[in-house]
Structure 1
Protein backbone atom coordinates (compact mmCIF):
# COMPACT_ATOMS: atom_id res chain seq x y z
CA UNK A 1 0.00 0.00 0.00
CA UNK A 2 1.41 3.40 -0.90
CA UNK A 3 1.99 6.07 1.71
CA UNK A 4 -0.67 8.49 0.49
CA UNK A 5 -3.39 5.84 0.71
CA UNK A 6 -2.16 4.59 4.10
CA UNK A 7 -1.84 8.12 5.52
CA UNK A 8 -5.42 8.94 4.50
CA UNK A 9 -6.82 5.71 5.93
CA UNK A 10 -5.04 6.50 9.21
CA UNK A 11 -6.01 10.21 9.25
CA UNK A 12 -7.66 11.45 12.44
CA UNK A 13 -11.25 12.65 12.01
CA UNK A 14 -12.55 15.67 13.90
CA UNK A 15 -16.07 17.02 14.12
CA UNK A 16 -16.68 20.59 12.94
CA UNK A 17 -20.33 21.08 13.67
CA UNK A 18 -22.07 18.38 11.66
CA UNK A 19 -19.12 18.07 9.30
CA UNK A 20 -16.57 15.26 9.69
CA UNK A 21 -13.15 16.61 8.72
CA UNK A 22 -10.03 14.52 8.15
CA UNK A 23 -6.75 15.96 9.42
CA UNK A 24 -3.87 15.16 7.06
CA UNK A 25 -0.25 16.34 6.64
CA UNK A 26 -0.86 17.45 3.03
CA UNK A 27 -3.96 19.51 3.77
CA UNK A 28 -3.26 20.63 7.34
CA UNK A 29 0.46 20.27 8.04
CA UNK A 30 -0.36 17.87 10.88
CA UNK A 31 0.27 15.12 11.77
CA UNK A 32 3.94 15.31 10.74
CA UNK A 33 4.59 15.46 7.00
CA UNK A 34 7.36 12.96 6.27
CA UNK A 35 9.68 13.66 3.32
CA UNK A 36 8.94 10.21 1.87
CA UNK A 37 5.20 11.04 1.57
CA UNK A 38 5.95 14.38 -0.06
CA UNK A 39 8.42 12.69 -2.42
CA UNK A 40 5.86 10.01 -3.36
CA UNK A 41 3.24 12.68 -4.09
CA UNK A 42 5.69 14.71 -6.20
CA UNK A 43 6.62 11.67 -8.27
CA UNK A 44 2.94 10.81 -8.81
CA UNK A 45 2.23 14.38 -9.92
CA UNK A 46 5.22 14.42 -12.29
CA UNK A 47 3.94 11.20 -13.89
CA UNK A 48 0.39 12.51 -14.21
CA UNK A 49 0.93 15.95 -15.74
CA UNK A 50 2.90 17.26 -18.70
CA UNK A 51 5.73 19.42 -17.33
CA UNK A 52 7.89 19.80 -20.43
CA UNK A 53 6.44 23.09 -21.69
CA UNK A 54 5.23 24.51 -18.36
CA UNK A 55 6.65 27.95 -17.54
CA UNK A 56 5.36 28.18 -13.95
CA UNK A 57 3.71 26.13 -11.23
CA UNK A 58 0.90 28.22 -9.73
CA UNK A 59 -0.43 27.39 -6.28
CA UNK A 60 -2.61 29.10 -3.69
CA UNK A 61 -1.17 29.85 -0.25
CA UNK A 62 -0.70 28.08 2.01
CA UNK A 63 -1.11 24.34 1.73
CA UNK A 64 -0.14 24.03 -1.93
CA UNK A 65 3.27 25.56 -1.29
CA UNK A 66 5.06 22.49 0.06
CA UNK A 67 3.69 20.27 -2.74
CA UNK A 68 4.67 22.78 -5.41
CA UNK A 69 8.11 23.29 -3.88
CA UNK A 70 8.85 19.58 -3.97
CA UNK A 71 7.67 19.38 -7.60
CA UNK A 72 9.69 22.47 -8.52
CA UNK A 73 12.85 20.94 -7.07
CA UNK A 74 12.29 17.83 -9.21
CA UNK A 75 11.37 19.65 -12.42
CA UNK A 76 13.20 23.00 -12.24
CA UNK A 77 9.91 24.76 -13.01
CA UNK A 78 9.57 27.97 -10.93
CA UNK A 79 6.67 28.58 -8.55
CA UNK A 80 4.19 31.45 -8.29
CA UNK A 81 2.28 31.55 -4.99
CA UNK A 82 -1.16 33.15 -5.05
CA UNK A 83 -1.27 35.18 -1.85
CA UNK A 84 -4.04 36.48 0.39
CA UNK A 85 -2.12 39.75 0.65
CA UNK A 86 -2.06 42.58 -1.86
CA UNK A 87 1.39 43.82 -2.82
CA UNK A 88 0.48 46.43 -5.43
CA UNK A 89 3.07 45.25 -7.94
CA UNK A 90 2.63 45.99 -11.64
CA UNK A 91 0.36 43.42 -13.25
CA UNK A 92 -1.06 42.14 -9.95
CA UNK A 93 -4.47 40.51 -10.47
CA UNK A 94 -7.01 40.08 -7.68
CA UNK A 95 -9.57 37.32 -7.46
CA UNK A 96 -12.31 36.53 -5.03
CA UNK A 97 -12.40 32.94 -3.84
CA UNK A 98 -15.24 31.34 -1.99
CA UNK A 99 -15.12 27.88 -0.47
CA UNK A 100 -17.48 25.96 1.74
CA UNK A 101 -15.51 27.34 4.68
CA UNK A 102 -14.53 30.91 3.83
CA UNK A 103 -14.49 33.78 1.41
CA UNK A 104 -11.45 35.94 0.73
CA UNK A 105 -9.56 37.94 -1.83
CA UNK A 106 -6.36 36.54 -3.33
CA UNK A 107 -3.69 38.10 -5.53
CA UNK A 108 -1.69 36.72 -8.45
CA UNK A 109 1.66 38.27 -9.35
CA UNK A 110 4.19 37.39 -12.04
CA UNK A 111 1.92 35.46 -14.41
CA UNK A 112 1.76 37.00 -17.85
CA UNK A 113 -0.24 36.51 -21.01
CA UNK A 114 1.07 33.48 -22.88
CA UNK A 115 2.60 31.78 -19.80
CA UNK A 116 1.94 28.05 -19.67
CA UNK A 117 1.03 27.21 -16.08
CA UNK A 118 0.37 24.11 -14.01
CA UNK A 119 -2.09 24.76 -11.17
CA UNK A 120 -1.49 22.64 -8.05
CA UNK A 121 -3.53 22.50 -4.84
CA UNK A 122 -3.75 20.19 -1.85
CA UNK A 123 -7.48 19.38 -1.65
CA UNK A 124 -10.44 19.88 -3.94
CA UNK A 125 -13.66 20.14 -1.98
CA UNK A 126 -16.15 22.74 -3.24
CA UNK A 127 -13.91 23.85 -6.12
CA UNK A 128 -14.39 27.53 -5.26
CA UNK A 129 -10.70 28.35 -4.95
CA UNK A 130 -9.54 26.50 -8.06
CA UNK A 131 -12.45 27.81 -10.12
CA UNK A 132 -11.60 31.42 -9.21
CA UNK A 133 -7.90 30.82 -9.93
CA UNK A 134 -8.58 29.30 -13.35
CA UNK A 135 -10.92 32.18 -14.23
CA UNK A 136 -8.30 34.75 -13.20
CA UNK A 137 -5.54 32.96 -15.16
CA UNK A 138 -7.82 32.89 -18.20
CA UNK A 139 -8.40 36.63 -17.77
CA UNK A 140 -4.63 37.20 -17.72
CA UNK A 141 -4.28 35.18 -20.92
CA UNK A 142 -2.19 32.41 -19.38
CA UNK A 143 -2.54 28.90 -20.75
CA UNK A 144 -3.47 26.39 -18.03
CA UNK A 145 -1.74 23.16 -19.05
CA UNK A 146 -3.15 21.11 -16.15
CA UNK A 147 -5.01 21.54 -12.89
CA UNK A 148 -4.09 18.94 -10.28
CA UNK A 149 -5.16 18.43 -6.71
CA UNK A 150 -3.59 15.79 -4.51
CA UNK A 151 -6.81 14.84 -2.70
CA UNK A 152 -10.33 15.24 -4.07
CA UNK A 153 -13.29 14.94 -1.75
CA UNK A 154 -15.98 12.86 -3.45
CA UNK A 155 -19.00 14.70 -4.75
CA UNK A 156 -19.75 17.49 -7.17
CA UNK A 157 -17.75 20.70 -7.17
CA UNK A 158 -17.58 23.98 -9.11
CA UNK A 159 -14.94 22.64 -11.53
CA UNK A 160 -17.10 19.78 -12.80
CA UNK A 161 -18.08 20.50 -16.39
CA UNK A 162 -16.11 23.78 -16.38
CA UNK A 163 -12.43 22.87 -15.98
CA UNK A 164 -10.62 19.61 -16.69
CA UNK A 165 -8.70 18.60 -13.60
CA UNK A 166 -6.77 15.65 -12.24
CA UNK A 167 -6.41 14.25 -8.75
CA UNK A 168 -4.19 11.62 -7.21
CA UNK A 169 -6.83 10.13 -4.93
CA UNK A 170 -10.54 10.67 -4.22
CA UNK A 171 -11.95 10.21 -0.73
CA UNK A 172 -15.00 10.70 1.42
CA UNK A 173 -15.48 10.56 5.17
CA UNK A 174 -18.02 8.00 6.27
CA UNK A 175 -18.86 6.96 9.83
CA UNK A 176 -15.74 8.60 11.24
CA UNK A 177 -13.32 7.07 8.72
CA UNK A 178 -11.72 8.08 5.45
CA UNK A 179 -12.93 5.89 2.57
CA UNK A 180 -10.90 5.71 -0.63
CA UNK A 181 -13.33 6.20 -3.53
CA UNK A 182 -10.87 6.20 -6.44
CA UNK A 183 -7.09 6.15 -6.46
CA UNK A 184 -6.76 7.80 -9.84
CA UNK A 185 -9.85 9.94 -9.98
CA UNK A 186 -9.60 12.61 -12.60
CA UNK A 187 -12.36 15.12 -13.01
Structure 2
Protein backbone atom coordinates (compact mmCIF):
# COMPACT_ATOMS: atom_id res chain seq x y z
CA UNK A 1 0.00 0.00 0.00
CA UNK A 2 1.26 3.47 -0.91
CA UNK A 3 2.39 5.59 2.04
CA UNK A 4 0.43 8.81 2.51
CA UNK A 5 2.59 11.94 2.71
CA UNK A 6 1.41 14.93 4.74
CA UNK A 7 3.32 18.19 4.70
CA UNK A 8 2.47 20.24 7.74
CA UNK A 9 2.91 23.87 8.73
CA UNK A 10 1.77 25.30 5.39
CA UNK A 11 1.28 29.08 5.62
CA UNK A 12 1.10 30.31 2.00
CA UNK A 13 -0.58 29.37 -1.27
CA UNK A 14 2.83 29.19 -2.93
CA UNK A 15 4.02 26.54 -0.47
CA UNK A 16 0.73 24.65 -0.67
CA UNK A 17 0.92 24.40 -4.47
CA UNK A 18 4.60 23.45 -4.32
CA UNK A 19 3.80 20.66 -1.84
CA UNK A 20 1.03 19.33 -4.08
CA UNK A 21 3.30 19.54 -7.11
CA UNK A 22 5.99 17.61 -5.19
CA UNK A 23 3.49 14.80 -4.57
CA UNK A 24 2.06 15.46 -1.10
CA UNK A 25 -1.32 13.82 -0.44
CA UNK A 26 -2.28 16.05 2.48
CA UNK A 27 -1.51 19.56 3.70
CA UNK A 28 -1.46 20.55 7.37
CA UNK A 29 -2.49 23.97 8.67
CA UNK A 30 -1.73 24.91 12.28
CA UNK A 31 -4.50 26.82 14.07
CA UNK A 32 -2.99 26.80 17.58
CA UNK A 33 -0.14 29.04 18.80
CA UNK A 34 2.99 28.31 16.73
CA UNK A 35 5.39 30.17 14.43
CA UNK A 36 3.38 28.47 11.65
CA UNK A 37 -0.05 29.45 12.96
CA UNK A 38 -2.52 30.62 10.30
CA UNK A 39 -6.06 31.98 10.38
CA UNK A 40 -9.16 30.23 9.12
CA UNK A 41 -9.64 32.90 6.46
CA UNK A 42 -6.12 32.43 5.08
CA UNK A 43 -6.61 28.67 4.93
CA UNK A 44 -9.97 29.10 3.17
CA UNK A 45 -8.31 31.24 0.50
CA UNK A 46 -5.61 28.58 -0.01
CA UNK A 47 -8.02 25.63 -0.12
CA UNK A 48 -10.19 27.39 -2.71
CA UNK A 49 -7.21 27.35 -5.11
CA UNK A 50 -6.04 23.77 -4.59
CA UNK A 51 -6.58 20.98 -7.13
CA UNK A 52 -9.15 18.29 -6.22
CA UNK A 53 -8.49 15.20 -4.09
CA UNK A 54 -5.98 16.88 -1.75
CA UNK A 55 -6.73 16.34 1.95
CA UNK A 56 -6.51 19.44 4.10
CA UNK A 57 -5.83 18.94 7.81
CA UNK A 58 -6.37 21.46 10.58
CA UNK A 59 -4.01 21.01 13.54
CA UNK A 60 -5.26 21.97 17.02
CA UNK A 61 -3.77 21.62 20.50
CA UNK A 62 -6.16 21.57 23.49
CA UNK A 63 -8.46 24.19 22.00
CA UNK A 64 -12.05 24.75 23.21
CA UNK A 65 -14.41 22.62 21.13
CA UNK A 66 -16.46 25.62 19.89
CA UNK A 67 -13.28 27.18 18.46
CA UNK A 68 -12.44 23.95 16.61
CA UNK A 69 -15.95 23.57 15.19
CA UNK A 70 -16.07 27.21 14.06
CA UNK A 71 -12.61 26.97 12.47
CA UNK A 72 -13.60 23.83 10.56
CA UNK A 73 -16.59 25.66 9.09
CA UNK A 74 -14.76 28.89 8.27
CA UNK A 75 -11.62 27.30 6.81
CA UNK A 76 -13.14 24.43 4.83
CA UNK A 77 -10.60 21.84 6.03
CA UNK A 78 -11.46 18.21 5.38
CA UNK A 79 -9.80 16.60 8.42
CA UNK A 80 -8.80 17.49 11.99
CA UNK A 81 -5.59 16.61 13.84
CA UNK A 82 -5.69 16.91 17.63
CA UNK A 83 -2.22 17.13 19.20
CA UNK A 84 -3.06 17.82 22.83
CA UNK A 85 -4.72 15.94 25.69
CA UNK A 86 -8.13 15.76 24.03
CA UNK A 87 -10.28 12.84 25.22
CA UNK A 88 -11.95 10.26 23.02
CA UNK A 89 -15.28 11.86 23.95
CA UNK A 90 -13.99 15.23 22.70
CA UNK A 91 -12.94 13.60 19.40
CA UNK A 92 -16.39 12.09 18.88
CA UNK A 93 -18.00 15.54 18.82
CA UNK A 94 -16.18 16.52 15.63
CA UNK A 95 -18.00 15.69 12.41
CA UNK A 96 -14.83 15.41 10.31
CA UNK A 97 -12.30 12.55 10.24
CA UNK A 98 -9.99 12.93 13.25
CA UNK A 99 -6.29 12.12 13.52
CA UNK A 100 -5.33 11.84 17.19
CA UNK A 101 -1.75 12.79 17.90
CA UNK A 102 0.37 11.28 20.66
CA UNK A 103 3.77 12.58 21.73
CA UNK A 104 6.23 9.75 22.37
CA UNK A 105 8.82 9.90 25.14
CA UNK A 106 10.10 6.72 26.80
CA UNK A 107 7.04 4.48 26.53
CA UNK A 108 3.82 3.98 24.60
CA UNK A 109 0.49 3.27 26.31
CA UNK A 110 -1.07 0.92 23.77
CA UNK A 111 -4.34 0.44 25.64
CA UNK A 112 -4.92 4.19 25.98
CA UNK A 113 -4.11 4.86 22.33
CA UNK A 114 -6.32 2.05 21.04
CA UNK A 115 -9.22 3.35 23.13
CA UNK A 116 -9.53 6.35 20.78
CA UNK A 117 -12.12 5.70 18.08
CA UNK A 118 -10.71 8.00 15.44
CA UNK A 119 -9.55 7.72 11.83
CA UNK A 120 -5.81 7.44 12.50
CA UNK A 121 -3.11 7.78 15.16
CA UNK A 122 -0.17 10.14 14.68
CA UNK A 123 3.04 9.75 16.69
CA UNK A 124 5.32 12.74 17.22
CA UNK A 125 8.28 13.41 19.51
CA UNK A 126 7.75 14.53 23.08
CA UNK A 127 9.79 17.62 23.94
CA UNK A 128 9.06 19.45 27.19
CA UNK A 129 7.24 22.70 26.53
CA UNK A 130 6.63 22.05 22.82
CA UNK A 131 3.45 20.71 21.25
CA UNK A 132 4.99 19.69 17.92
CA UNK A 133 7.29 20.82 15.12
CA UNK A 134 10.34 19.98 17.23
CA UNK A 135 12.50 18.69 14.39
CA UNK A 136 13.53 15.79 16.64
CA UNK A 137 12.78 12.10 16.13
CA UNK A 138 11.76 9.62 18.79
CA UNK A 139 12.87 6.03 19.23
CA UNK A 140 10.99 4.19 16.50
CA UNK A 141 11.63 0.88 18.24
CA UNK A 142 8.92 1.89 20.74
CA UNK A 143 6.33 1.28 18.01
CA UNK A 144 7.75 -1.94 16.63
CA UNK A 145 5.75 -5.14 17.04
CA UNK A 146 2.82 -3.18 18.49
CA UNK A 147 -0.73 -3.58 17.28
CA UNK A 148 -2.75 -0.42 16.76
CA UNK A 149 -6.45 -0.44 15.98
CA UNK A 150 -6.17 2.44 13.51
CA UNK A 151 -3.73 3.42 10.72
CA UNK A 152 -0.43 4.85 11.96
CA UNK A 153 1.17 8.11 10.85
CA UNK A 154 4.69 8.98 12.04
CA UNK A 155 6.10 12.49 12.48
CA UNK A 156 8.99 13.98 14.41
CA UNK A 157 12.31 14.99 12.88
CA UNK A 158 11.70 13.35 9.51
CA UNK A 159 13.74 14.44 6.51
CA UNK A 160 15.02 13.11 3.21
CA UNK A 161 17.91 11.29 4.90
CA UNK A 162 16.00 9.31 7.52
CA UNK A 163 12.50 8.71 6.16
CA UNK A 164 13.70 5.63 4.29
CA UNK A 165 14.99 4.14 7.54
CA UNK A 166 11.67 4.89 9.21
CA UNK A 167 9.75 3.07 6.51
CA UNK A 168 12.04 0.08 6.70
CA UNK A 169 11.69 0.00 10.47
CA UNK A 170 7.93 0.54 10.79
CA UNK A 171 6.20 0.60 7.38
CA UNK A 172 3.76 3.30 8.59
CA UNK A 173 0.55 4.10 6.75
CA UNK A 174 1.58 7.74 6.56
CA UNK A 175 4.45 10.13 7.23
CA UNK A 176 4.17 13.75 8.37
CA UNK A 177 6.97 16.24 7.72
CA UNK A 178 7.30 19.92 8.60
CA UNK A 179 10.70 21.26 9.67
CA UNK A 180 12.47 18.65 7.52
CA UNK A 181 11.26 20.43 4.37
CA UNK A 182 11.39 24.00 5.68
CA UNK A 183 13.29 26.94 4.30
CA UNK A 184 12.52 29.18 7.29
CA UNK A 185 10.37 28.91 10.39
CA UNK A 186 7.29 29.74 8.32
CA UNK A 187 8.08 28.73 4.72
CA UNK A 188 8.92 25.55 2.83
CA UNK A 189 11.72 24.60 0.46
CA UNK A 190 10.31 23.18 -2.77
CA UNK A 191 13.48 21.21 -3.53
CA UNK A 192 13.40 19.58 -0.09
CA UNK A 193 9.73 18.70 -0.55
CA UNK A 194 10.41 17.02 -3.90
CA UNK A 195 13.39 15.14 -2.47
CA UNK A 196 11.34 13.97 0.53
CA UNK A 197 8.54 12.60 -1.64
CA UNK A 198 11.07 10.87 -3.89
CA UNK A 199 12.71 9.26 -0.86
CA UNK A 200 9.36 7.96 0.41
CA UNK A 201 8.43 6.59 -3.01
CA UNK A 202 11.84 4.96 -3.49
CA UNK A 203 11.65 3.31 -0.08
CA UNK A 204 8.28 1.87 -1.02
CA UNK A 205 9.74 0.28 -4.15
CA UNK A 206 12.95 -1.20 -2.72
CA UNK A 207 13.31 -4.53 -0.93
CA UNK A 208 13.01 -3.88 2.78
CA UNK A 209 15.54 -4.87 5.39
CA UNK A 210 13.15 -6.85 7.56
CA UNK A 211 13.41 -6.81 11.31
CA UNK A 212 14.53 -10.13 12.70
CA UNK A 213 11.84 -12.38 14.09
CA UNK A 214 12.60 -14.81 16.90
CA UNK A 215 14.77 -17.66 15.65
CA UNK A 216 15.81 -16.01 12.37
CA UNK A 217 19.45 -15.85 11.32
CA UNK A 218 21.17 -12.52 11.96
CA UNK A 219 23.88 -12.40 9.31
CA UNK A 220 25.58 -9.37 10.84
CA UNK A 221 25.89 -11.05 14.23
CA UNK A 222 27.01 -14.30 12.62
CA UNK A 223 29.75 -12.48 10.71
CA UNK A 224 31.51 -11.90 14.04
CA UNK A 225 30.51 -15.00 16.02
CA UNK A 226 32.61 -18.18 16.21
CA UNK A 227 35.16 -16.80 13.74
CA UNK A 228 38.84 -17.73 13.73
CA UNK A 229 41.32 -15.58 15.64
CA UNK A 230 44.89 -14.96 14.53
CA UNK A 231 47.57 -13.72 16.94
CA UNK A 232 50.01 -11.08 15.71
CA UNK A 233 52.47 -9.50 18.15
CA UNK A 234 50.39 -10.60 21.11
CA UNK A 235 47.13 -9.20 19.70
CA UNK A 236 44.11 -11.25 18.63
CA UNK A 237 42.80 -10.47 15.14
CA UNK A 238 39.29 -11.39 14.14
CA UNK A 239 38.99 -12.94 10.68
CA UNK A 240 35.56 -12.30 9.15
CA UNK A 241 33.74 -11.37 5.95
CA UNK A 242 32.90 -7.77 6.78
CA UNK A 243 36.25 -6.36 7.90
CA UNK A 244 38.74 -8.78 6.35
CA UNK A 245 36.83 -10.12 3.32
CA UNK A 246 37.64 -13.67 4.47
CA UNK A 247 35.59 -15.28 3.09
CA UNK A 248 34.50 -12.76 0.44
CA UNK A 249 31.99 -10.17 1.66
CA UNK A 250 28.41 -10.99 0.59
CA UNK A 251 26.62 -7.95 -0.79
CA UNK A 252 23.70 -8.50 1.58
CA UNK A 253 26.03 -8.51 4.59
CA UNK A 254 27.46 -5.13 3.56
CA UNK A 255 23.94 -3.79 2.98
CA UNK A 256 22.75 -5.00 6.39
CA UNK A 257 25.80 -3.54 8.15
CA UNK A 258 25.35 -0.17 6.42
CA UNK A 259 21.64 -0.16 7.19
CA UNK A 260 22.25 -0.88 10.87
CA UNK A 261 24.67 2.06 10.99
CA UNK A 262 22.07 4.33 9.41
CA UNK A 263 19.46 3.18 11.93
CA UNK A 264 21.80 3.74 14.87
CA UNK A 265 22.89 7.22 13.80
CA UNK A 266 20.87 10.43 14.02
CA UNK A 267 21.24 11.47 10.41
CA UNK A 268 19.98 14.78 9.06
CA UNK A 269 20.77 17.17 6.20
CA UNK A 270 24.03 19.05 6.61
CA UNK A 271 25.99 16.21 8.18
CA UNK A 272 29.10 14.70 6.61
CA UNK A 273 30.37 11.15 7.04
CA UNK A 274 34.06 10.53 7.75
CA UNK A 275 36.06 7.30 7.88
CA UNK A 276 39.44 5.83 7.01
CA UNK A 277 40.35 4.09 3.81
CA UNK A 278 41.69 0.79 5.13
CA UNK A 279 39.02 -1.59 6.43
CA UNK A 280 36.31 0.99 7.04
CA UNK A 281 36.28 2.58 3.59
CA UNK A 282 33.96 0.03 2.00
CA UNK A 283 31.43 0.39 4.82
CA UNK A 284 31.67 4.19 4.68
CA UNK A 285 30.78 4.22 0.98
CA UNK A 286 27.85 1.85 1.54
CA UNK A 287 26.47 4.03 4.33
CA UNK A 288 26.79 7.10 2.12
CA UNK A 289 24.84 5.39 -0.66
CA UNK A 290 22.04 4.45 1.72
CA UNK A 291 21.63 7.78 3.50
CA UNK A 292 22.62 10.19 0.74
CA UNK A 293 25.19 12.08 2.84
CA UNK A 294 28.64 12.97 1.44
CA UNK A 295 31.78 11.53 2.96
CA UNK A 296 35.37 12.54 3.51
CA UNK A 297 38.08 9.94 3.92
CA UNK A 298 41.37 9.66 5.78
CA UNK A 299 44.10 7.98 3.76
CA UNK A 300 47.40 6.43 4.80
CA UNK A 301 49.42 8.49 2.33
CA UNK A 302 49.56 12.19 1.43
CA UNK A 303 48.08 13.66 -1.74
CA UNK A 304 49.64 17.08 -1.32
CA UNK A 305 46.28 18.71 -2.02
CA UNK A 306 45.37 21.96 -0.34
CA UNK A 307 43.36 21.51 2.84
CA UNK A 308 44.60 18.00 3.62
CA UNK A 309 45.05 17.43 7.37
CA UNK A 310 47.82 15.19 8.72
CA UNK A 311 47.75 13.44 12.11
CA UNK A 312 49.62 10.60 13.73
CA UNK A 313 47.89 7.52 15.10
CA UNK A 314 48.77 4.44 17.11
CA UNK A 315 46.47 1.40 16.91
CA UNK A 316 46.76 -2.21 18.02
CA UNK A 317 49.01 -3.42 15.23
CA UNK A 318 50.65 -0.39 13.64
CA UNK A 319 51.43 3.29 14.09
CA UNK A 320 51.59 5.82 11.35
CA UNK A 321 49.92 8.85 9.85
CA UNK A 322 46.47 9.67 8.50
CA UNK A 323 45.78 12.29 5.83
CA UNK A 324 42.21 13.58 5.93
CA UNK A 325 40.50 14.87 2.79
CA UNK A 326 37.09 16.39 2.12
CA UNK A 327 36.39 17.97 5.53
CA UNK A 328 35.92 21.72 5.75
CA UNK A 329 35.80 24.19 8.66
CA UNK A 330 32.36 24.15 10.24
CA UNK A 331 31.41 20.68 8.99
CA UNK A 332 29.27 18.55 11.33
CA UNK A 333 30.73 15.07 11.19
CA UNK A 334 29.58 11.51 11.83
CA UNK A 335 32.54 9.11 12.01
CA UNK A 336 31.79 5.61 10.69
CA UNK A 337 34.06 2.60 11.16
CA UNK A 338 33.75 -1.15 10.93
CA UNK A 339 35.61 -2.25 14.07
CA UNK A 340 37.05 -0.68 17.22
CA UNK A 341 39.82 -2.41 19.15
CA UNK A 342 42.15 -0.10 21.08
CA UNK A 343 40.56 3.03 19.58
CA UNK A 344 43.83 4.42 18.25
CA UNK A 345 42.62 4.98 14.71
CA UNK A 346 39.44 6.65 15.92
CA UNK A 347 41.40 8.99 18.17
CA UNK A 348 43.54 9.97 15.18
CA UNK A 349 40.42 10.54 13.05
CA UNK A 350 38.82 12.72 15.71
CA UNK A 351 41.97 14.81 16.02
CA UNK A 352 42.11 15.21 12.23
CA UNK A 353 38.49 16.36 12.06
CA UNK A 354 39.08 18.87 14.84
CA UNK A 355 42.22 20.21 13.18
CA UNK A 356 40.19 20.72 10.01
CA UNK A 357 37.92 23.03 12.02
CA UNK A 358 34.99 20.60 11.99
CA UNK A 359 32.93 19.11 14.83
CA UNK A 360 32.44 15.40 15.54
CA UNK A 361 28.79 14.88 16.49
CA UNK A 362 28.55 11.07 16.45
CA UNK A 363 30.76 7.99 16.17
CA UNK A 364 29.31 4.66 15.01
CA UNK A 365 31.30 1.41 14.84
CA UNK A 366 29.77 -1.86 13.69
CA UNK A 367 31.78 -4.12 16.01
CA UNK A 368 33.69 -3.72 19.27
CA UNK A 369 36.42 -6.02 20.59
CA UNK A 370 35.66 -5.87 24.29
CA UNK A 371 39.03 -6.98 25.62
CA UNK A 372 40.83 -3.94 24.19
CA UNK A 373 38.63 -1.27 25.84
CA UNK A 374 38.75 1.05 22.83
CA UNK A 375 35.43 2.71 23.63
CA UNK A 376 36.70 3.71 27.07
CA UNK A 377 39.99 4.92 25.66
CA UNK A 378 38.29 7.13 23.08
CA UNK A 379 36.03 8.56 25.78
CA UNK A 380 38.96 9.30 28.11
CA UNK A 381 41.15 10.89 25.43
CA UNK A 382 38.57 12.82 23.39
CA UNK A 383 35.50 13.13 25.64
CA UNK A 384 33.34 11.51 22.93
CA UNK A 385 31.12 8.44 23.09
CA UNK A 386 31.32 5.63 20.56
CA UNK A 387 28.15 3.73 19.69
CA UNK A 388 28.82 0.08 18.78
CA UNK A 389 26.38 -2.44 17.35
CA UNK A 390 28.01 -5.85 17.90
CA UNK A 391 30.11 -6.56 21.01
CA UNK A 392 32.61 -9.35 20.56
CA UNK A 393 34.97 -11.26 22.86
CA UNK A 394 38.25 -12.30 21.26
CA UNK A 395 40.02 -14.97 23.27
CA UNK A 396 41.08 -18.52 22.60
CA UNK A 397 40.72 -19.90 19.09
CA UNK A 398 37.45 -18.24 18.02
CA UNK A 399 35.37 -15.14 18.70
CA UNK A 400 32.06 -14.98 20.52
CA UNK A 401 29.38 -12.29 20.25
CA UNK A 402 28.28 -11.06 23.68
CA UNK A 403 25.44 -8.75 22.60
CA UNK A 404 23.98 -6.71 19.76
CA UNK A 405 22.50 -3.22 19.98
CA UNK A 406 19.89 -3.08 17.22
- When normalised by structure 1's length, the TM-score is 0.91
Distance 1:17 1:91, change over 3 A: closer
What does residue 33 of structure 1 align with? 249
Matched, 1:48 2:267: no
5+ long unaligned stretches in structure 2: 1-216
Partner deviation per Cα, 1:111-152 (whole Å, 9 max, x = no partner): 111111111111100111101111221222212121111111
| Greater RCO (Cα-Cα under 8 Å, separation 6 or more) | 1
Offset of residue 13 of structure 1: 2.3
What does residue 165 of structure 1 align with? 386
Corresponding residue SS for 2:242: helix
What does residue 404 of structure 2 align with? 183
Q: Which structure 2 residues correspond to residues 104-183 of structure 1 after superposition, within 5 A?
A: 104-155=320-371, 156-157=373-374, 158-161=377-380, 162-183=383-404
Farther off after superposition, 25-34 or 156-165: 156-165
5+ long unaligned stretches in structure 1: none
Distance (Å, rounded) in 2 between the aligned partners of 1:70 and 1:133: 19
Distance 1:52 1:180, change over 3 A: same
What does residue 280 of structure 2 align with? 64
**Ranges of 4+ aligned residues in structure 1 off by more than 4 Å:** none
Q: 21, 31, 34: which is aligned to 2:237?
A: 21
Offset of residue 10 of structure 1: 3.9
Distance (Å, rounded) in 1 between the aligned partners of 2:292 and 2:265: 15
What does residue 11 of structure 1 align with? 227
Aligned length: 185
Distance (Å, rounded) in 1 between the aligned partners of 2:308 and 2:270: 21
- When normalised by structure 2's length, the TM-score is 0.44
More strand by share: 1
Farther off after superposition, 13-22 or 164-173: 13-22
Distance (Å, rounded) in 1 between the aligned partners of 2:363 and 2:347: 10
Partner deviation per Cα, 1:1-26 (whole Å, 9 max, x = no partner): 31011121242222335443220122
Distance (Å, rounded) in 2 between the aligned partners of 1:172 and 1:152: 8
Alpha-carbon contact 1:85-1:106 (below 8 Å) kept:
yes
Offset of residue 32 of structure 1: 1.1
Distance (Å, rounded) in 1 between the aligned partners of 2:281 and 2:358: 20
Distance (Å, rounded) in 1 between the aligned partners of 2:364 and 2:270: 14
What does residue 293 of structure 2 align with? 77
